[in-house]
Chain A
């Protein structure tokens, strides 16, 4: 401060205000233009990534249709719907399974996953991580560790006798100790992250599986309303 006094008189507040407001306006305009300019592309990429993931978690499907759960029934989803699941069909139009998006607390942040549910055999048939901030090299093994992903090719999510919830809790066990079809073989070095996946699937499947199983005839026909 002393420097500025000896060299030049301090700028008056109008100049300061003008500079800050001016820069603020320029910056605001730049951000708005970038946001508007990139938004369609970002939304397109997100939808693409989700679509790709749906085909990844439901092996053998060629067609998919979003359904929303409204008033105790599954109806083809509109864009504004929130509780959406994705039904997959093979090339002959046969219903193959449902892809469900779920999320829960991981080690670092929320983990968002998608998994495929086959109501016919009552199993989870595929799994993919949509969003995670797990530790690189350790926690992020949940995304790519082949033996861990192997868990989700036939994970048992049988319903109990009155079909209100799962027969057995989906639970992550210590690596190499998986004995039952509803257990997830964990990852050493990523204990918390792999446990979180088990819990996310358990929570989501105990909510969705009974609903889907009860209403599975709703998905039988492939409607192309869009």
Chain B
């Protein structure tokens, strides 16, 4: 599906960037990589860190896959992609530990699980293995930031309702009764559903015009 769209549009690199942010947003349109989206979006900071970590892995693996695209025989391509992705995930895991112990504590197992994020593998398979380095990097940048945008949108809503704060800063009065369910996994589903509703309503309205 991704293929058709990229072939139809995409005459220049800016389009590759924009499409990931908006038209093919990985969270709201492609609905890819839902595991971290639902699990680590309980606060805005966690969501932002997770989004940026995924974006880093996406950019690095997309560039390497694109550079090596003529070197990797198609029989072993999936194994090669996973190897490359796992390497960058391990690197970002160490990097996050080196940035902040607390952040690493909060993201927990989900950093390692970036390896199996279907968004990254799908971009390597559907895009980077068929396109030039520049285009692949632009694609990864767009998709990565689009993913971060999606995660942070969820994280902000969940943090406001679930903890009465945003990016760790309390914004609602103490009398506000926190919705515990919003920081639990179920809250992730509710918030995602609500955002998808908003997105689809908007899309419908625009198409109707």
A23 to B85 CA separation, bound complex (whole angstroms): 11
Say whether A34 contacts B100, CB under 8 Å.
Answer: no
Q: Which of B42, B72, B80, B97 contacts A136 (CB 8 A)?
A: B42
Say whether A27 contacts B84, CB under 8 Å.
Answer: yes
A20 to B75 CA separation, bound complex (whole angstroms): 11
Say whether B183 contacts A45, CB under 8 Å.
Answer: no
Interface of chain A, helix or strand or loop or mixed?
A: helix
Q: Which of B42, B64, B73, B97 contacts A16 (CB 8 A)?
A: B73
Say whether B73 contacts A19, CB under 8 Å.
Answer: yes
A19 to B73 CA separation, bound complex (whole angstroms): 7
**A218 CB-CB contact with B under 8 Å:** no
Identify which of A10, A45, A132, A137 gathers the most chain B CB atoms within 10 Å of its CB: A137
A157 to B75 CA separation, bound complex (whole angstroms): 64
A189 to B183 CA separation, bound complex (whole angstroms): 14
Say whether B73 contacts A31, CB under 8 Å.
Answer: no
A41 proximity list for chain B (CB < 8 A) = 98
A interface residues, how many (CB within 8 angstroms): 31
Say whether B98 contacts A38, CB under 8 Å.
Answer: yes
**Closest residue on chain A to residue B187 by CB atoms:** A137
Question: Given A15-B73, A136-B42, A42 and B98 touching (CB < 8 A)?
Answer: yes
A133-152 interface code vs B (CB 8 A; 1 in, 0 out): 10111100000000000000
B residues 92-137 in Cβ contact with A at 8 Å: 94-95, 97-98, 100-101, 105, 108-109
Say whether B80 contacts A20, CB under 8 Å.
Answer: yes
**Closest residue on chain A to residue B90 by CB atoms:** A31
A residues 11-58 in Cβ contact with B at 8 Å: 11, 15-16, 19-20, 22-24, 26-27, 30-31, 34-35, 37-38, 41-42, 45-46, 49
Identify which of B73, B86, B98 gathers the most chain A CB atoms within 10 Å of its CB: B73
**How many B residues touch the partner, as a band?**
20 to 34
A31 proximity list for chain B (CB < 8 A) = 87, 90-91
Question: Given A4-B74, A35-B94, A137 and B180 touching (CB < 8 A)?
Answer: yes
B79 proximity list for chain A (CB < 8 A) = 20
A137 to B80 CA separation, bound complex (whole angstroms): 38
B101 proximity list for chain A (CB < 8 A) = 45-46, 49
**B162 CB-CB contact with A under 8 Å:** yes
**A131 CB-CB contact with B under 8 Å:** yes
Question: Given A10-B75, A20-B79, A27-B83, A138 and B94 touching (CB < 8 A)?
Answer: no
**B176 CB-CB contact with A under 8 Å:** no
Q: Which 7 A-B pairs have the closest CB atoms?
A: A11-B73, A27-B87, A137-B183, A38-B98, A41-B98, A34-B91, A38-B94
Can you report 27 residue pairs joining A to B where beta carbons are below 8 Å apart? Answer: A16-B75, A16-B76, A19-B68, A19-B71, A19-B72, A19-B76, A19-B80, A20-B80, A23-B80, A27-B84, A27-B86, A27-B87, A30-B87, A34-B91, A34-B95, A35-B94, A37-B94, A38-B94, A38-B95, A38-B97, A45-B97, A45-B101, A133-B108, A136-B183, A136-B184, A137-B183, A138-B180
Please give 10 more A-B residue pairs, beta carbons under 8 A apart, in addition to A23-B72, A45-B97, A131-B105.
A19-B68, A19-B72, A20-B76, A23-B80, A26-B87, A31-B90, A31-B91, A42-B94, A45-B100, A137-B183
